């Protein structure tokens, strides 16, 4: 059976829409009439997804959030471990979902599974939702006969990734808000407050202090060209983003980030923690080491680190141990290399990789916490200095007011 998308009129004449399974459009229309619905439009659920699949539409195509994916994976794991047939588990998960997007995807996956395809193959039709690592683990679980436990591991991994992402976002919200408020306050002072206070000085024939002249010039600039400056900043940001679409320029930018003191540590910690966690869960699911290295390398956001992971996989394929290959790269944290060496010696590589990922995530949290604790007083000092300069620029002519008046 195939998943169909429908729009129909109910007995009150209200337009309703949803998804339903059927052997054909005629069969689906019959089911709708049996429910006292008058069909308006019926089409295959995946036809609309693929129709006119231009690059822009692919970019704007809605995706499932990490939280929704974790919830769906947890539901499937619970249902499969309850010995429910896979197609029924997919149908039950679709019925429990409140999102029409998720429901459509699960019904289409179920249709493929009902046709005899594997779950991993069916999920492969939605690479934007189920990435390569996800599908590789599902495939390994299906072949080994441990699909339920593998889905359970996937749910844990997805939930952990969501938790880490939320922590990073929350850590970055405050500094951006603080910077935005600081810029808004300074611009408001320059455009609305300063001209009112120093307008009287411009009528004087006395030479103004350099600081006051600079303040007047800055205020005039923001008042006359502020809107153009805003558009220029937006255009610059969009231009830089467009330039970084080129892989060569993006690689140079990522290499530059790895050379910046402080920031390079954050980038390496974030990416290598994700790499170690992905590699651990893939190997624990029965995926071969070389295949796990190839897939885990795809989760690295930095292109330079991604190239290093490919070099690591090539060295391992040539017969090198994983810890020596990581050490040869020179970019992976020494603690991670030592823990991998310990895991290879003890035969518990998956466990040591997981511990390494947890250690790096804790170190990342501590580093972010330290940076935020330093950033807050730094912003206060910067704002204080800017306000002090504005006050001095206004007060210096007032101190000399007696000599300015003729």
CATH number of the domain enclosing 118: 1.20.81.30
Which of 144, 160, 176 corresponds to the end of one domain?
160
Q: Is 382 contained in some domain?
A: no
Q: Is 183 contained in some domain?
A: no
**Token digits of residue 7:** 């729009």
Number of domains in the chain: 3
Predicted pLDDT at 232: 92
CA distances from 405 to 264, 350, 392 (A): 58, 81, 20
**Token digits of residue 251:** 């690689």
CATH of the domain at 6: 3.10.20
Please check whether residues 89 and 154 belong to one and the same domain.
yes
Please check whether residues 267 and 311 belong to one and the same domain.
yes
pLDDT along the chain (406 residues), means of 10: 71 74 72 79 60 43 74 89 88 84 86 84 86 81 80 83 77 78 81 72 68 81 84 91 85 88 82 84 82 83 88 90 88 88 88 86 79 80 83 77 52
Predicted pLDDT at 236: 92
Sign of CA dihedral 80, 85, 90, 91: negative
Closest CA to 214 of 27, 392, 24: 392
Which of 130, 160, 190 corresponds to the end of one domain?
160
Contact 141, 151 (CB under 8 A): yes
Closest CA to 137 of 3, 20, 291, 326: 291
- Compute and round to an integer the Cα radius of gyration of the chain: 30
φ/ψ of residue 6, rounded to 5: -135, 155
Q: Is 13 contained in some domain?
A: yes
Q: Is 200 contained in some domain?
A: no
Q: Is 237 contained in some domain?
A: no
Predicted pLDDT at 46: 55
Please check whether residues 289 and 358 belong to one and the same domain.
yes
- What predicted TM-score, i.e. pTM, was given to this entire model? 0.64
Question: Which residue has tokens 């029924």?
Answer: 88
Q: Is 26 contained in some domain?
A: yes
For residue 18, the surrounding DSSP H or E stretch is strand 15-22
Q: Is 293 contained in some domain?
A: yes
Please check whether residues 42 and 109 belong to one and the same domain.
no
What is the C-alpha end-to-end distance of the chain, expressed in Å? 95
Please check whether residues 282 and 312 belong to one and the same domain.
yes
Please check whether residues 271 and 350 belong to one and the same domain.
yes
Enclosing domain of residue 145: 66-160
CA distance 184 to 168: 25
DSSP 260: S
CA distance 180 to 174: 10
């Amino acid at each position: 059976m195939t998943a169909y998308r429908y729009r129909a009129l109910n007995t009150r004449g209200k337009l309703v829409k949803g998804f339903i399974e059927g052997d054909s459009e005629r069969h689906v229309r019959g089911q709708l009439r049996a429910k006292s619905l008058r069909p308006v439009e019926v089409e295959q659920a995946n036809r609309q997804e693929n129709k006119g699949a231009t690059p822009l539409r692919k970019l704007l195509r809605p995706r499932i959030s990490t939280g929704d994916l974790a919830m769906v994976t947890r539901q499937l794991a619970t249902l499969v471990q309850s010995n429910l047939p896979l197609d029924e588990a997919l149908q039950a998960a679709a019925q429990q979902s409140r999102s029409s997007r998720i429901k459509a995807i699960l019904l289409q996956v179920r249709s493929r599974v009902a046709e005899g395809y594997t779950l991993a193959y069916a999920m492969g039709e939605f690479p934007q939702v189920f990435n390569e690592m996800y599908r590789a683990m599902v495939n390994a679980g299906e072949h080994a006969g441990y699909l339920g436990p593998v889905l359970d591991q996937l749910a844990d991994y997805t939930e952990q990734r969501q938790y880490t992402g939320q922590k990073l976002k929350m850590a970055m919200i405050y500094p951006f808000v603080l910077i935005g408020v600081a810029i808004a306050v300074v611009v408001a002072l320059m455009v609305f407050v300063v001209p009112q206070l120093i307008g009287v000085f411009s009528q004087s024939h006395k030479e103004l202090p350099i600081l006051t002249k600079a303040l007047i010039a800055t205020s005039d600039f923001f008042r006359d060209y502020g809107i153009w400056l805003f558009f220029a900043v937006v255009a610059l940001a969009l231009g830089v983003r467009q330039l970084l679409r080129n892989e060569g320029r993006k690689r140079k930018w990522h290499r530059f980030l790895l050379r910046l003191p402080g920031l390079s540590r954050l980038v390496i910690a974030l990416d290598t923690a994700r790499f170690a966690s992905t590699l651990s869960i893939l190997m624990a699911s029965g995926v071969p080491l070389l295949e796990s290295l190839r897939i885990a390398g795809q989760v690295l956001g930095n292109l330079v680190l991604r190239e290093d992971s490919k070099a690591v996989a090539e060295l391992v394929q040539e017969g090198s141990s994983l810890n020596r290959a990581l050490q040869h790269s020179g970019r992976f944290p020494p603690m991670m290399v030592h823990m991998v060496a310990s895991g290879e010696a003890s035969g518990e590589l998956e466990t040591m990789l997981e511990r390494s990922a947890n250690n790096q995530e804790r170190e990342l949290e501590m580093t972010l916490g330290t940076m935020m604790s330093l950033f807050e007083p730094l912003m206060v000092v910067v704002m204080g200095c800017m306000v002090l300069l504005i006050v001095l620029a206004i007060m210096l002519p007032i101190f000399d007011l007696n000599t300015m008046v003729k």
